[in-house]
Each structure stands twice: as structure tokens, then as C-alpha cells.
Amino acid sequence: MDNNQEYSDLEVYNRLEEQMNAHSAYRNKGYRVDTVIPQTSDDSIPLQIIDVFMGIIVFLMEKRYKNVNEKEDDVTLKVKSDLIYRFLIQDDNINKIQRKVNLYKWEGNEEHVSEVNLGDYISEFMAYKTQFDIKEMIRLEKFRNEYPRQTTKLYREAMGYKNSQLKMIQGYIDELDGKGRNSYFLS
């Protein structure tokens, strides 16, 4: 687990060990966690990968993408949504995640552990993001028709996009040109 002073102060490492062992006993899994060792994520690529996947899942479950146009970090939410969308549409990633990631919810002092259907969150995100992207690509195509063969910078500025949204606009252009959303990254 990531080394974090706040986690130490809140005794998260001990609580995680207790919760994991309780889960094992309740689900009759037969494993025992002896200790949770904090490790700096800077030194651990597997920990970084787990952190990225957890960030994606939390983003989807909290439905933060729906806060676009409501918060100061609007551009950040758009960029994160686009990055997650690009990851999910690549190859067979949606199916892989649904097959390999199992989430369980254990609320309060109840003895019941219920499985969380990640597919519901992914489906809702994909529908929302697709609708958002279609609106943006329609706007972009209007600019492209009015000003054909212009630079990506001109289109980005015309759309009111920040520099951090460059990859979004490139993805939209590639998709409108029939190349696929991630073709810019794959070439």
C-alpha cells in the first residue's frame, strides 16, 4: 500500500489488514494477511499501476465526469474523462476490466458483502461520454467546414479548448476523419 503519513495517522494499514482478514473469513477464502507494508509509489511500478486503475474506477463510480461545467477543475475533468474513454475503447479493455476486476461493498457493521457491478458504471460513463463527444465533434466539424485545412491550434482555440485539451481535439479530428480516436497515439 502507498506510504502516506495520513494513512499512518488514521491507522489505515492496521484496519486494512483487519478488513482483509475479515473478508477472507466471511467469504471462506482461506487466506490470511499478516501485515500491510507501506511502500513509496515512486519506487514501485506495480503500485503505480494499481493506483491508476483505482483512480479510474473511483472516477467512474463517483461519476465525477458529470461535474463538467460545474467546477473550477472543469478542464481537468474533461481531460481525465477523455483519457479514461480512450483507454476503455482500446482493444478489448472494457471486457478485460469487467472480467478481471471484482469489487465488493461491505457497508458498516452488516455481515453482508455484495458484489458491485462495475459494468453499470462503465456503461453509464460510456453513454455520457459518447453523447458529450458527439456534441463536441459536431461543433468541431462546423469550424472545419467553415475554415477547412487549418491547424489544430486554430480549431482548438475556436472551440475554446486549453493547451491541455490538445489530445482531445486531435482525437476528435482523427475520429471525424475515420482514423479512430486513438490513431494519433498509435502512429
pLDDT of residue 145: 96
User: Is it the case that residue 187 has pLDDT exceeding 90?
Assistant: no
pLDDT at 180: 92
User: Percent of the chain at pLDDT above 90?
Assistant: 52
* Residue-level pLDDT at 14: 84
Rounded to an integer, what distance in angstroms lies between the CA atom of residue 76 and that of residue 17?
34
Helices (H), ranges, the chain: 5-9, 12-26, 45-62, 74-89, 93-100, 118-146, 152-158, 166-176, 183-186
Cell numbers linked to 132: 458529450
Dist CA 184 CA 175 (whole Å): 10
Whole-prediction pTM: 0.79
Rg (CA), the chain: 21
Instruction: Tell me, rounded to whole angstroms, the distance of Cα 100 from its chain centroid.
Output: 16
Span 124-179, pLDDT tens digits: 999 999 999 999 999 999 999 999 999 999 999 999 999 999 999 999 999 999 99
More confident residue, 72 or 119: 119
Residue-wise pLDDT tens digits, 64-111? 888 876 766 688 899 999 999 999 999 999 999 999 888 888 776 666
- pLDDT digits over 29-65, tens only? 788 889 888 888 787 888 888 889 889 999 999 998 8
